Amino acid sequence: MALVCAILQIYTLVIVARAIASFFPINSSSRAAPIVGLLHQLTDPVFLPLRRVIPAVGMLDFTPLVVIIAIQIIASVLGC
């Protein structure tokens, strides 16, 4: 159970890191590009299906917030 809780916490941090990285222009020649690419690889499998259901409001994407809330609900059910 502790492993699942730790994974949920780490995934939440990955989502927050991706959200913060989205505020900065990062091109493919940047030193941060591989890290941002990894963040996308880790979060896109969850984000992309939800983006078909949750529309963006202007330029704001609420998908990360919805995923974090879902993770918090799962963590509280598991007793993390």
Q: Is 25 exposed, middle or buried (0-12, 13-18, 19+ CB in 10 A)?
A: exposed
The pLDDT of residue 1: 86
What is the DSSP-derived secondary structure letter of residue 72? H
Residue 49, SS3 per DSSP: helix
The pLDDT of residue 59: 87
| Residue 21 parent element (H or E) | helix 2-21
The pLDDT of residue 63: 96
User: Using an 8 Å Cβ cutoff, are 80 and 8 in contact?
Assistant: yes
The pLDDT of residue 36: 96
The pLDDT of residue 72: 98
Instruction: List average pLDDT for each run of 10 residues in the chain, which is 80 residues long.
Output: 95 97 90 95 97 89 96 96
